[in-house]
Amino acid sequence: MKKILKLLSIVIMLTVATIYTMPTKVMAFGPSSDEIYNGIDVSGYQGNIDFGKVKKDGIQVVYIRSSEGTNYIDSKFEQNYKRARDAGLKIGFYHYVTARSVNQAEKEAQFFASVISGKVADCRLAMDFESFGNLNKKEINTIGLAFMKKLEELTKKEVVLYSNAYTASRIWEGEVTNYPLWIAQYEVNKPENSGTWKSWAGWQYTDVGRVAGISNHVDRDKFTKEIFMSEGTQIPDTEKPKPDEEDDKTTTKKIKIKWGDTLSQLAIKYNTTVAELVRLNNIQNPNLIYAGNYLIVPVKGENTSNTTIYTVKSGDTLSEIAQMFNTTVSKIAQENNIQNVNLIYPRPKASCK
C-alpha cells in the first residue's frame, strides 16, 4: 500500500500525524542456527504451482498464505496446502493482519486458527502485520502482541513474526521482540537489525525470485531450525469468530475509479484491505482496474485526511522515509520536486502534503 509524501524543505505533511522513533545505528546480524533451509512463501498471486518441481529445484520449506482480516481466505490456500504436502515439503502458514484494535486482532487470530484447523504445520505460525494505516507505535505493538498471544492460546502452537528490516528495528519493541523474527530485506548480503533481535529465524531476501514449477515471481527465503515447531502436529479445531454488531452495520457505496488509482491506495483511503475490495467487487486481477469504472467500497472508517507531519533528521534518506510511510522514492521525489534523490537536508521546520 502506497502513500504520496510532499516535502517542503524540512517537514513532510502526510495523512496521519504518526511519529516514529529516530533512526538508530544499524548492524548486520546472523541466522539462529548454522543449518539453513531453502524456502519460499506463496499465495494466490503465484497461480497454479507444481510443488513437485519446486522441491526438485532445491526448495525445502514453503510458507502458504491462508487468510487475511476476518473473512478472506486465499484463493489457492487449500490447493497449495494439499500439493505441497503431497510433494513432501515442510509447511508453514501465514496470515495478513489488518486489525486496528485489540478486539479486531483477537478476532483475526481466531479466524486464522479456524482456517488452518485440521491442517498439519511443520513451521511456526506467522503473523504478517506490515500495513499500519494511522496507528502509532504503541498501538502497533499492542495489536501485534494481542494477535500472537491469542493465536498461541487457541492453537497451542509456536509463532513467528514476519517483518521488514525497517519496522523490525524501529517499530517493534517490548514483548513482541520475544518472538523469533522472520525478516524481509532485499539486495543485501546479510539482513540488518538495530540489535533488538540477536539473530533471525527466517530471511526473505527477494520478492522477484524464480523457482521451477512457478510461472510468476516468488518470494525466496532462508530459514533456520528455529522456524520449525517443536512438534509438527495438527492444528486443533477452532470456530470462526462471530461478527460484531458494529461489523454488521458497515455499509458500502460506489465510487468512480480515477486515472492512476490503485486498489492499495483506495484500500488505505477507505480504511479497508485490497482483499476486501477484491471480494466486494469480484475482481479477478487486483493489479488491473480501469478509470471510469465504478467500485464498491465500505463507508465505515473512511480516511479523508491526507497529511502527516515528519521532520527530516540528520542521517535520513528518501529510501528510509519511503519505507516508513509505505510509498516509493520516486513518488516522494515527484511530489516534492527533488532533483537529487540522494540529497535531502535537515532543517528546523518544513511542511509537505
3-state secondary structure 33-98: CCCCEEEEEECHHHCCCCHHHHHHCCCCEEEEEEEECCCEECCCHHHHHHHHHHCCCEEEEEEECC
User: In 3D, which of 214, 216, 240 has the Cα closest to residue 80?
Assistant: 214
| N-term to C-term CA, the chain | 17
41 labelled catalytic: yes
User: For 244, which DSSP code?
Assistant: P
**Cβ neighbours around 60 below 10 Å, total:** 15
In the Cβ-directed half-sphere of 257, how many Cα atoms lie within 13 Å? 19
C-alpha count within 13 angstroms, C-beta hemisphere, residue 177: 15
Q: By CB neighbour count within 10 A (0-12 exposed, 13-18 middle, 19+ buried), where does 293 fall?
A: exposed
Within a 10 A sphere around the Cβ of 220, how many other Cβ atoms?
20
Four-residue CA torsion sign, 20, 26, 28, 29: negative
Three-point CA angle 275, 47, 287, nearest 5°: 45
Q: Which amino acid is at 160?
A: V
Q: Respond yes or no: is residue 187 known to be catalytic.
A: no
d(CA 99, CA 241) in angstroms, rounded, equals 14
41, 128, 221, 226: the catalytic one is 41
246 contacts: CB under 8 Å, gap ≥ 6: none
Please identify which of the residues 50, 78, 122, 130 carries the catalytic annotation: 130
Residue 132 CA to residue 1 CA, distance in Å, equals 10
CA torsion 307→313→318→323, rounded to 10°? -70
CA distance 72 to 276: 7
3-state secondary structure of 152: helix
**Catalytic sites, residue numbers:** 41, 130
